[in-house]
Amino acid sequence: MQAFGLGRVGRDAELRRTTNGDAVAGFSVAFSYGRKGEDGYRPTQWLDASIWGKRAESLAPYLLKGALVAITLEDVHIETYKGAKGEGHKLVGRVTEIELAGGGERPAKAASPAADNRIYRTKESKAPSGFDDDDPDVPW
């Protein structure tokens, strides 16, 4: 089964390596759906996602808790596991397409602006724009 949605990263991506040396990043995604309940919140479906290879290595530093992502998953299925509270079930899938849509925190140190193909302006280097409320931490 394949799924597509707009969700929020629920925990920072964890980059690991398989015994073959392949990179895999695992993270959770929360999808809200339906109408708000009496508590004021919409129901949420959690999914454990994995992304593989070079994309896992490149994107893991940016897949941080709270980040908004547009994501397409394949092989979406339910897995059974044994936990401290007994047997449980979780929804899992493999990422085929992903776009960062905002939120989360930027990594503390980017190697250099050229390394991630973005330019981060500081207040000192901010180009005059005529807008006093521009956020200097937004990459342009």
Q: What is the largest CA-CA distance in the chain?
A: 60
Cα(115)–Cα(1) distance, rounded to whole angstroms? 36
Cα(138)–Cα(86) distance, rounded to whole angstroms? 45
**For residue 77, what is the DSSP state?**
E
Question: Would you list the domain boundaries of the chain?
Answer: 3-102
CATH number at 3-102: 2.40.50.140
Ordered per-residue pLDDT tens for the chain, 140 residues = 888 899 999 999 999 999 999 999 999 999 998 899 899 989 999 999 999 999 999 999 999 999 999 999 999 999 898 888 889 888 999 999 999 987 666 555 544 444 444 444 444 444 444 444 555 555 54
pLDDT in the model for residue 39: 92
| Of 34, 33, 45, 47, residue with least CA distance to 75 | 47
What are 83's two structure tokens? 């936990």
Sign of CA dihedral 119, 61, 89, 92: positive
